[in-house]
Amino acid sequence: MNRFLSQVVGVELFTPKINDSLWYFKDVLGYYEVGKDKESVYLRAYNEFLYPFSIKLTEQEKSGIGEIYVRTMSEADLYDTVKTLEGNGVKGLWVEPDSKIGRSYAFETPSGHTVRLFWDFKEFVTPEELKSILKDRPMKIPNKGIGVVGFDHVAVSGVNQKENRLFWEKLGVKTHEMVVKGNMEIAAFMSLTGKAHDIVFFNDQIPGRLNHVAINIEHSSDIFKVTDMYRDYGIEIVSGPLRHGITQGIGIYGKEPGGNVIEVHGLQYYNYLPDWKPLVWDVDKDFWNPGAALYGYISEYLMKGSPEPGVKPLRPIELRARR
């Protein structure tokens, strides 16, 4: 199904309020802090296998999306992917190994987002006191917060919507569902793994923006616990609780203190058909109802993203090049 790429492992989020964002991810969602460097803090959820982190919080003056971390199927696929990219005019840069990820290749997509491709990584070793009784559960369920399971998907917004979708399809990524308005493509829900969506692209006039990051829960009923906790602890609810028609997922969207929208997410369909033809929703007919919301509360604010509309996003590829 997927020629070069294995999965979207996680993301870097920019936050101007790193301590408050840390409180949200650790004390409200239940992430474990597993490392830090000069500018960033690394987090992982209890049921994430081997990878050293799935959320990297980096202190910056603006909110938004930093690097998107994508692992290839093999070391050979890393170099084959780079060859394919550069053969199609993409000019990225090689990044030497750091404390978490081996040699990698950073490049900018047609939508203006920075992706970091890698194969090697430093495997996470669970401290003895955090080991679960289960061999197939990487860490103990946390004793505070919601206890989210792990990273699910990232949704971003940017320019060149159709070109960007075709770009990813050339790398073997499958489009499961699309949104159009007349002859214009508005969104693409794309999968590397068979999940309904691993990465979502929305059309925007500004490149390189974040729509939301989605984090999984274990039980559907946890959505109501999340909603109660958000009300108790002052987390702004942007949309939800709701069920999407598109992907069939359930979720609640809250704005973390740094200004980024986080979806706490459950359910969705799985699709392993290699010859699948994308389902198409129309903004003027069925996108908002039942596509965006089969039932539940949804607000157009959900489409604003971060940083706030009109604020120019940081370009992670430029920040990377300066290091």
pLDDT range class, residue 234, cuts 50, 70, 90: very high
Nearest to residue 304, comparing CAs of 235, 236, 212, 199?
212
Confidence check: pLDDT of 169 > 50 = yes
Q: In this model, does residue 1 exceed pLDDT 70?
A: no
Give the pLDDT mean for 227-253: 98
- Give the mean pLDDT of 205-217: 98
pLDDT at 228 over 90: yes
Give the angle 161-281-196 at the CA atoms, nearest 5°.
Answer: 80
- Nearest CA to 318 among 217, 231, 237, 207? 207
Query: What DSSP assignment string belongs to 258-314?
Result: TS-EEEEEE---B---TT---EEEETTTTIIIIII-SEE---GGGGT-BS-TTSPPP
CB atoms within 10 A of CB 232: 9
Report whether the peptide linkage leading into residue 290 is cis, meaning its omega lies within 30 degrees of zero.
yes
Q: Over 70: is that where the pLDDT of 104 sits?
A: yes
Q: How far is CA 55 from CA 14, 44, 78, 195, in A?
A: 11, 6, 22, 20
Query: What is the domain partition of the chain in residue ranges?
Result: 5-322
pTM of the model as a whole: 0.97
Q: Does residue 47 sit in helix, strand or coil?
A: coil
Task: Report how far residue 282's alpha carbon sits from residue 184's, in angstroms, rounded to the nearest whole number.
Answer: 10
pLDDT, tens only, 111-149: 999 999 999 999 999 999 999 999 999 999 999 999 999
Nearest Cα neighbor of 323 from 75, 114, 15 is 114
> How far is Cα 101 from Cα 114, in angstroms, rounded to an integer?
16
Residue 301: band (very low, low, confident or very high) from pLDDT cuts 50, 70, 90: confident
- The reported pLDDT for the residue numbered 174 is 97
pLDDT on residue 321: 80
Q: At residue 2, does pLDDT exceed 90?
A: no
Q: Which residue has the higher pLDDT, 309 or 14?
A: 14
The one-letter amino acid at 92: G
Radius of gyration of the chain (CA): 19
pLDDT digits (tens, 9 = 90+) for 48-76: 999 999 999 999 999 999 999 999 999 99
97 Cβ contact partners less than 8 Å away, ≥ 6 residues apart: 103, 104, 120
Position 256: which residue type?
E
Q: What is the pLDDT of residue 300?
A: 85
What class has domain 5-322? alpha beta
Euclidean distance between CA atoms 203 and 301, whole angstroms: 15
CB atoms < 10 A from the CB of 194, how many? 15
